[in-house]
Amino acid sequence: MDLLKQMGDTDRAVRFLRLMEERGFKPDVVAYGTVIDCLCKNGLLEEALHLFSELKVKGNRPNVVIYNCLLYAMCNLGQQNEARRLLNEMRDSNISLDIFTYNILIDAYCKEGMICEAIETAHAMRKQGIEPDVVTYNILVDACCKGGMVSKAEDVTDMMRKQGIKPNVVTYTTLIDGHCLQNKMDKARGVFQLMIKEGCAPNIHSYSVLINGYCKAKRIDEAMELFNEISRTGPTPDNVTYNTLMQGMFQLGRVTAACKLLGKMLASGLVPGQMTYMILLDGLCKSGKLKVALKIFQVMRNSGLELDIFFYNILIDGLCKTGHIEEAKELFHKLSVESLKPTVHTYTIMINGFCKEGLPDEAYRLFKSMGGNECLPNSISYNVMVQGLFRNNYTSKATQLLAEMVEKGFSADLCTATLYVDLLL
């Protein structure tokens, strides 16, 4: 049964339960609990609840483990009211809540942004004689940091220490990320140094978070210094570390350094994933290195790497922005050959490209074809098309399309409104 659970084979787990009954064995709470846990982890809450009801009908008393499985699944699916009802059922049945139950509830409150309620729940569990563990505190620290309350997160960490619980690598990394999100890089570095001082070795995720913070703050030299520190003494950089640093370099126009970093990544034995190639293509296109981007794209296709629509969007956008509209058009038509469907974003890129090249008729034909290709225009598509028509002096058609756009419930953006006002004036 445990093997089936680990494999995630829910159908076989349920069939095994039925087979036990057919052969005269009465499945106990543990057997039911194993299958319910398997169903919950595979997102099959309704089926799990059906077995839960069956368990009670047969006179079995569900234990706290089964309740925790169901509570966790309900909270993950946003079914908070159902979770509260189940919690009340636990209390009515005199099932004592354990540390796992409280952590599930605290996490659910945090995900709803109800941090005060989460902290109150942590106090309530202490009154019940259950001490919060490192997981409890980490949930609270993470919620405070994501809510922009880093000082509150540090208060929680201080409370943690007073209770004799040492912050772990997750705690410190979360605090580092919180400071990075607020662009307080010196404080982030201070937490990083503190964790080392207190004997908590940073893992590669800790380094990557701090590197990402430096990159977003445009302090690329400090990011590179930290990366070199990993190479000398720290854990082995992973794809996320390389991707983060490469993206930062491209954003600051350090194209050569970004490409060298890719070479270093390959030399280390790491295999670039889709995200690496996406960053590479996007960076090269935005830097005007279209020929190099197209060559790499061809290498990717020849290597058998699965390419989704996002790769095509990056290249089509790069070609349109550099005036290579015919090459963009050719790549757009190749999508059907590759069995890929253009998204609204793909159409919008092409429409914008045609308009900028003074081809409003071709842009308008493509715009009108969207509905027929099961890709209805959105607000951005309408705005781009209307702006293109105005700029190419197709005022009558632009005004007509603007009226259609408003009729469909879309709003004109600032640029569209300005062009229309200029026309009226």
Final residue in a domain of this structure, among 38, 62, 96: 96
DSSP string, 182-207: TT-HHHHHHHHHHHHHTT----HHHH
Residue 238, number of CB atoms within 10 A of its CB: 15
Asked, for residue 411, whether it belongs to a domain, the answer is: yes
The pTM (predicted TM-score) of the whole model is 0.82
Instruction: Give the domain extent around 345.
Output: 341-425
Asked, for residue 195, whether it belongs to a domain, the answer is: no
CATH code: domain of residue 64: 1.25.40.10
Q: What is the pLDDT of residues 178-219, one digit of tens each?
A: 999 999 999 999 999 999 999 999 999 999 999 999 999 999
DSSP 338: T
Asked, for residue 43, whether it belongs to a domain, the answer is: yes
Q: What is the pLDDT of residues 57-73, one digit of tens each?
A: 888 889 999 999 999 99
Instruction: Evaluate if residue 394 carries a pLDDT over 90.
Output: yes
Number of domains in the chain: 2
Asked, for residue 17, whether it belongs to a domain, the answer is: yes
Final residue in a domain of this structure, among 49, 73, 96: 96
Angle between helices 360-369 and 344-356 (to 10 degrees): 170
Final residue in a domain of this structure, among 96, 120, 140: 96
> Mean per-residue pLDDT for 138-157?
95
> Mean per-residue pLDDT for 131-155?
95
Maximum distance among all alpha carbons in the chain?
87
What's the mean per-residue pLDDT of the chain?
90
Asked, for residue 221, whether it belongs to a domain, the answer is: no
Judged on CB neighbours under 10 Å (0-12, 13-18, 19+), 134 is: middle
Asked, for residue 170, whether it belongs to a domain, the answer is: no
% of the chain with per-residue pLDDT over 90? 65
Asked, for residue 253, whether it belongs to a domain, the answer is: no
Q: What is the pLDDT of residues 273-314, one digit of tens each?
A: 889 999 999 999 999 999 999 998 988 888 877 888 999 999
Q: Residue 245 corresponds to which tokens in the numbers above?
A: 């640093």
Q: Please, which pLDDT band fits residue 240 given cuts at 50, 70 and 90?
A: very high
Distances (CA, A) of 259 to 23, 233, 247, 277, 284: 64, 24, 11, 11, 9
Asked, for residue 46, whether it belongs to a domain, the answer is: yes
